[in-house]
Amino acid sequence: MSLNSYGHVFRVTTWGESHGPALGATVDGCPPGVRLAEADIQTWLDKRKPGQNKYTTQRREADEVEILSGVFEGRTTGTPIQLMIRNTDQRSKDYGDIAEKFRPGHADITYWQKYGIRDYRGGGRSSARETAARVAAGGVARAALAHVAPDVRITGYMVAMGDKDIDRARFDWDEIGRNPFWIPDAGSVELWADYLDALRKSGSSVGAMIEVTVRGCPPGIGAPVYGKLDTDLAAAMMSINAVKGVEIGEGMAAARLRGEENADEISMGPDGPVYSSNHSGGILGGISTGQDIVVRFAVKPTSSILTPRKTITKAGEAAEIITKGRHDPCVGIRAVPVAEAMAAAVVLDHILLDRAQTGGVRGPIG
Amino acid sequence: MSLNSYGHVFRVTTWGESHGPALGATVDGCPPGVRLAEADIQTWLDKRKPGQNKYTTQRREADEVEILSGVFEGRTTGTPIQLMIRNTDQRSKDYGDIAEKFRPGHADITYWQKYGIRDYRGGGRSSARETAARVAAGGVARAALAHVAPDVRITGYMVAMGDKDIDRARFDWDEIGRNPFWIPDAGSVELWADYLDALRKSGSSVGAMIEVTVRGCPPGIGAPVYGKLDTDLAAAMMSINAVKGVEIGEGMAAARLRGEENADEISMGPDGPVYSSNHSGGILGGISTGQDIVVRFAVKPTSSILTPRKTITKAGEAAEIITKGRHDPCVGIRAVPVAEAMAAAVVLDHILLDRAQTGGVRGPIG
Amino acid sequence: MSLNSYGHVFRVTTWGESHGPALGATVDGCPPGVRLAEADIQTWLDKRKPGQNKYTTQRREADEVEILSGVFEGRTTGTPIQLMIRNTDQRSKDYGDIAEKFRPGHADITYWQKYGIRDYRGGGRSSARETAARVAAGGVARAALAHVAPDVRITGYMVAMGDKDIDRARFDWDEIGRNPFWIPDAGSVELWADYLDALRKSGSSVGAMIEVTVRGCPPGIGAPVYGKLDTDLAAAMMSINAVKGVEIGEGMAAARLRGEENADEISMGPDGPVYSSNHSGGILGGISTGQDIVVRFAVKPTSSILTPRKTITKAGEAAEIITKGRHDPCVGIRAVPVAEAMAAAVVLDHILLDRAQTGGVRGPIG
Amino acid sequence: MSLNSYGHVFRVTTWGESHGPALGATVDGCPPGVRLAEADIQTWLDKRKPGQNKYTTQRREADEVEILSGVFEGRTTGTPIQLMIRNTDQRSKDYGDIAEKFRPGHADITYWQKYGIRDYRGGGRSSARETAARVAAGGVARAALAHVAPDVRITGYMVAMGDKDIDRARFDWDEIGRNPFWIPDAGSVELWADYLDALRKSGSSVGAMIEVTVRGCPPGIGAPVYGKLDTDLAAAMMSINAVKGVEIGEGMAAARLRGEENADEISMGPDGPVYSSNHSGGILGGISTGQDIVVRFAVKPTSSILTPRKTITKAGEAAEIITKGRHDPCVGIRAVPVAEAMAAAVVLDHILLDRAQTGGVRGPIG
């Protein structure tokens, strides 16, 4: 019942605080025989790493992962994999002010009320720094997917930031890795850069919308009724810091449609069923259809801004707070690799689960 | 790891198919000493019951719940509570056509592909009829909440249907129970009725948006980092049939806001912290703030419509399908009591969890 | 975290009280496509059924199981299977005395202290009647084993009762089903019958030792370090009413051996590794070796006896109690089919788990 | 469903191999506000540490624990506590021979068969070295018990080794910590020392029986029907390396008793119910009575002995093996602190669970 864990069979528990000695992930349930080296995980951590460009926090962390267990001679052994990342740039002095005051929009006040104690340095456990552990665990999930379901490809990208939306007519998978916003739309990069520059200079911040697409997932993955693939994806995304909404396929817009508009008609293709559209986001009744799985979520704007905000102290006195630390004008950017990692873990988990449930038997069509 | 279960401490497992002999919920972890009779649960089932007006399916089910265990002399004993609802109106003949054809937008095809066998009668396990079991379990959760946290009030209501939105300026809690749409806006009732009448007559359907508000939840309920209160609420809502998106507080709109707009400033009131607004939806870092908890979700339009849709048969042959059964033009209406039930279960579960975690200790403010 | 559940993938939750309307088991995680009818389960329930001979309680229960969900056209669908057994012979009047007094050796006092309420009729939830639900769930496990691992055979039998031990030199698998004690030793039947007759007439009771052997389990089933096959078997047996000790293979006697005596030497046979002995009970490091899996447990004597015992009332007053109800002089007899059922559930569960973990890959030898 | 985890609310996951860089425990669910420093944990690790006297393995490990998360300013924060112990004395050369041959009585062969890969160095994950992580986690459990249930005292000790038994007439709690065998019987120390010396010199080994007593546990802790306190204790002990049997209270001997002999009669004392004896081992129906909780288990003799044993190689060829490494003639000695740690974790877990279930309500007597 660990509340810091996710996954049924591929089970990840993250641990660590922003300014403690280290953070990491305990990964249990990874299949044996998966090729895995620290470099395989480091690749993904480097995508998330802060301080890479002017659009993300200037905190400098090496974010070097160590594998402490579960791998022998370059392969997983089926035993728990412990991933550790040392915190190197802790600069506690930056955070002195928040020991007494609660930052609006942060979990400072709720942690205090719940636990009667909190590690206030950099937000402690509630810091977005925790997501480094998720990305590391996601690296293991990716390696395992390459082993058990090599056709699966998981790609995250931003689709909106404040009032800017990507132009889906220009959607280009190859563009995603080329720009600092992970957007699939080369035509928007400059516009977004200017917008974010202005925000950063004014000490403000903005929200964002991220989409993750899972290509190549076979049909039949997932489960009714509570362990649905979409339920687990939604929970995974909602568990990421600052996320306030999650959509599958048509998402919230489905509320506006009529039955005729929303139905994905089915026909028979050479390799199995083919759908006329993908309003379902690749999932029906909690189980994958074989189409692309599409999940989208909204990240709220960073609560740490330079405009003073009203708050109270632990003593209950009125106060103002400006968060001067090193922060992201748009935390949504760094949520992209985090969301990919979570999606990888969920999809792998359900593929392993399906082996237990059905042994891979499939109802034949045609 | 039961995939048909939810909850950490208050653990519900639903079972049963649309056209089997019965369906129900196994409820484990209810505190002892809670007053509970079948009538307490029946109240909520009656809210959800089909056939009550022309806007919901004409299937007639008594939906009478029996308590088979866990209650002695009118009080819960701390042992599992088994709730059973007999299926009385099964009319299997209505569903003959769907034995061979997969209905677009339904889970027929994915269940078949996953399991190689499916109870096609009325959708079997994937039928919205399963939600009766959720409502019954929610009745137990409500009774337990009255015992352990009597200030908690949980209310669901529709906020949109197709292109119709409620007018929040006219929001009236008392209106919700007075109209067939569970809307808090008396001024919209007639308009919605006409709209849905037209839809029903044309054999079409429409999506909807539902909101659930939890009032009176104390601060400090919930948990980082994966068992967050908002994560569990999102998962609970996403697990309901036909739900495609879930939002907490500001929701997807948070992607559009700037940091200054989104911050809920804090001041000190006579009974504790007071917030200038509730963009957070009553949850920060996965833990309740003491404000109203607000969760919203979208239900897609019923896939069963009178317009023929293209599909395939089990043999892989092209076909057309019209679903002639007794269906809801807007399944969103009946999702309201279901969502309330899920919210009740999640909130109760986290209140019990909090007793384990902290023993109810709270960090004092002021 | 349901405390009334067992199993990781094949997850069973039992519910119901001795004198409530019904009891049963909610079985989730059974693979799809398994042939299953009520008669398949009834066979095992009939083995456990009370009142079959003079050595077991004279309570008369039809113990007829109904399958309420999860089976369609004679096969499991992969959805939860609800098994219900109506209580027919409830005779509440027998149990009036125990409403106020706590029976020594029973859970009356601890249930009362824990919950502040208890269903005292026949012991309520703590009655051995709960094991009927386990046997029913075991019937499902047996059917699933026949589907996924048809070589597995699970057999329970008594090996001791009071000071009587079977003579292992006369061990005969075929004898087990022929006598009322499930002993594999025809030469002891008469002796045991006389012994138990005398006990019954004197209103006394006696403990027993039961052994379960699992033949045909492939190597590689189980898991380190906490979800060990032997750990789960031990927990399963210890969870049965009145069990006070559990052993695997050599068991407690291993404490007395030297390393040379205890080692099972390995050689290569035509079908794989062969062992010179089976001190390990078929499990090394929590994982099956392919040898017979042997688990043994002790059941204490029925606490309900005709000799008056000192106790107290709810009011804390001294009292004497004689339990006049219909009871077993040796509850161990009826524990045999229960233990088989538990073993079947655990072995199936681990076979399904292994599919998730390894996909059935095995390290080749030779 | 992590198979390397235990506990419901207080959830421990151990990780690490004998000869990897480190091992440790991820502890989730510890209450906040518990005083905890590395020294509090080190105390218990030092009890288990190898190489302290000639009766335990001469492997020299500092076994220094580092707390990497979950503690702030000397108190737990309610977030996961990561405990890491570096492996310092790894001497891989000692273990070259076992890369190809399977040691009888060890998990070498089953790990290989299950996973198709194994870290053979020192037994990898199956090494008793894993128990260091358990002891560390137990240190956290002890600290938390001091916070939430300060009357609870948990003490382990040996009661038998080979054919030597302690004399219970000389039982002395204070003696336990004074001798290298953790025995409560000063009169047996010299005899046991001579016996073990002889064994060690001959390169042999012997099994042992260990008992753990929990004093001061309040009544009402535990739960029916599968999450019983005795079930969880039995599973905890059975999960320890080399354990082959577990008993509660009267244990296996209960099979030999009659009902009159086994009943613990109840009378009323000044502070509540008093029992005439403790055959039950302090647990009835899975719930604590308030008496001493007594659990006992058998450890098999170390399989690593100097007498050559027959085995096979990975290639399936016949071979002989002598394990020359640094080993314990009686691993049971070092199992004592391990068992204490497991008992502490289980008791704490159930005390926290009880807060969730009942909020600490108790049925009053008298």
From chain B residues 8-47, the ones with a CB under 8 A of any chain A CB are 8-9, 14
What's the mean pLDDT in B98-103?
92
Three-state DSSP at B41 gives: helix
Least confident of A14-28, B206-220, C240-254, C299-313: C299-313
DSSP string, D242-254: TEEEEEETTGGGG
Cβ count near A25 (within 10 Å): 31
Mean pLDDT, to the nearest integer, of D316-340? 88
d(CA C210, CA C208): 7
Q: Which of B132-141, C283-292, D328-337 has the lowest mean pLDDT?
A: D328-337
Higher pLDDT, D17 or B305: D17
Query: Residues of D marked as binding?
Result: 48, 54, 125-127, 241-242, 285, 300-304, 326
Burial D83-119 (b: 16+ CB within 10 A, else e): bbbbbeebeeebbeebeebbbbbbbbbbbbbbbbbbb
pLDDT of B57 higher than 90:
no
Q: Phi then psi for A68, rounded to 5 degrees?
A: -95, -15
Q: Give the integer Cα–Cα distance in Å for D281 and C238.
A: 13
Query: Helices marked H in C280-331 — which ranges?
Result: none
Give domain limits for chain C. Answer: 5-358
Which residues in chain D have their CB less than 8 angstroms from residue B78's CB?
Answer: 357-358
pLDDT along chain A (366 residues), means of 10: 93 97 98 97 89 68 93 97 90 71 95 95 93 98 98 98 98 96 97 94 94 98 96 98 98 96 94 96 98 98 87 96 77 96 98 94 89
Residue C61: how many CB atoms within 10 A of its CB? 18
How far, in Å, CA of A27 to CA of D171, rounded? 45
What is the average per-residue pLDDT within B249-277?
Answer: 96
Q: Which pLDDT band holds residue D93 (cuts at 50, 70, 90)?
A: low
**Does residue C286 belong to the interface with chain B, where contact is any CB pair within 8 Å?**
no
Cα torsion B158, B162, B165, B166 to 10°: value is -30
Is some CB atom of chain D closer than 8 A to the CB atom of B3?
A: no
Q: What number is the average pLDDT over the span C173-201?
A: 96
Mean pLDDT across chain C: 93
pLDDT per position as a tens digit, D169-209: 999 999 999 999 999 999 999 999 999 999 989 999 999 99
Place C196 in a pLDDT band, splitting at 50, 70 and 90: very high
- Mean pLDDT, residues D344-362: 94
Show binding-site residues of A: 48, 54, 125-127, 241-242, 285, 300-304, 326
**Alpha-carbon gap: A86 to the closest alpha carbon of chain C (Å):** 27
Helices C38-48 and C332-358, interaxial angle, to 10°? 140
Task: Annotate B324-354 with b (16+ C-beta within 10 A) or e (fewer).
Answer: ebbbbbbbbbbbbbbbbbbbbbbbbbbbbbb
Residues 6 or more apart in contact with residue B296 via CB below 8 angstroms: B159, B209, B210, B211, B212, B246, B247, B248, B251
Beta carbons within 10 angstroms of residue A271's beta carbon: 7
Of A181 and C322, the one with more pLDDT: A181
- For the segment B246-268, the average pLDDT, to the nearest whole number, is 96
Q: How far apart are CA A277 and CA A274, in angstroms?
A: 9
C-alpha span between A326 and A305 (Å, rounded): 10
**Helical ranges in chain A per DSSP H:** 38-48, 108-115, 131-148, 189-201, 229-238, 259-262, 332-358
Question: Can you tell me the distance from the alpha carbon of C131 to that of C281, in angstroms, rounded to the nearest whole number?
Answer: 25
Q: Which residues of D touch C107 (CB under 8 A)?
A: 224, 284-287
Q: Can you give the pLDDT at residue A55? A: 74
For C102, the 3-state DSSP assignment is coil
Average pLDDT over residues D107-111: 97
Q: Do C68 and B79 touch (CB under 8 A)?
A: no
Name the least confident of B107-116, B280-289, D301-310: D301-310
The mean predicted confidence, pLDDT, of chain D is 93
Percentage of chain B lying above the pLDDT 70 cut: 95
Token digits of residue B273: 């912290």
Q: Which pLDDT does position D58 carry in this prediction?
A: 59
pLDDT category, C54, cuts 50, 70, 90? confident
- Give all strands (DSSP E) within D131-280, no chain letters: 153-161, 164-165, 208-215, 243-248, 266-269, 272-275
For residue A323, the model assigns a pLDDT of 74
Which whole number is the average pLDDT over C307-315? 94
Angle, CA of D320, D324 and D328, to the nearest 5°: 120
* Mean pLDDT value across chain B: 93
Tokens encoding A114: 């719940």
- What amino acid is encoded at C260 in this protein? E
**Residues of A forming the annotated binding site for NADP(+)?**
48, 54
CA D38 to chain centre: 20
Predicted confidence at residue C280, as pLDDT, reads 98
- Assembly ipTM: 0.96
**Looking at the complex, does the CB of residue B144 fall below 8 Å from at least one CB of chain D?**
no
Q: What are phi and psi of B183, to 5 degrees?
A: -105, 145
Closest-CA distance, C104 to chain B, in angstroms, reads 21
Q: Whole-angstrom Cα distance, residue C112 to residue C122?
A: 14
First to last CA, chain C: 43
Report pLDDT for B360: 80
Which residue of chain B has the CA closest to D350? B356
Q: What is the pLDDT of residues D139-173, one digit of tens each?
A: 999 999 999 999 999 999 999 999 999 999 999 99
Per-residue pLDDT at B365: 94
Residue B306 is predicted with a pLDDT of 83
Q: What residues contact residue C42 under an 8 Å CB cut-off, 6+ apart?
A: C64, C65, C139
Between residues C326 and A38, the one the model is more confident about: A38
**CA–CA dist B173, A242 (Å, integer):** 29
Q: How confident is the model at residue C58 (pLDDT cuts 50, 70, 90)?
A: low
Q: Do B262 and A315 touch (CB under 8 A)?
A: no
DSSP three-state, residue D150: coil
- CB of D199 within 8 Å of a chain C CB? The answer is yes
CATH classification number, C5-358, choose in 3.40.50.300, 3.60.150.10, 3.40.50.11540, 2.60.40.3080: 3.60.150.10
Q: In this structure, how many other beta carbons lie within 10 angstroms of the beta carbon of residue D53?
A: 12
For residue D98, pLDDT over 90 is answered with no
Residues of chain C found within 8 Å of residue D364, distances taken between Cβ atoms:
116
Mean of pLDDT values over C40-54: 84
Strand stretches in chain D, DSSP E = 5-6, 11-16, 22-28, 65-67, 71-72, 75-76, 81-86, 153-161, 164-165, 208-215, 243-248, 266-269, 272-275, 283-284, 287-288, 293-299, 309-312, 318-321
Count Cα neighbours of C6 within 13 Å in the Cβ-side half-sphere: 37
Residues 6+ apart with CB under 8 A from C36: C67, C71, C74, C75, C76, C81, C140, C143
Chains in touch with A (≥3 Cβ pairs < 8 A): B, C, D
| C126 pLDDT more than 90 | yes
Chains with 3 or more CB pairs under 8 A to chain B? A, C, D
The answer to whether the pTM exceeds 0.95 is yes
Using the Cα atoms of residue C48, residue C54, residue C58 and residue C64 in order, give the sign of their dihedral.
positive
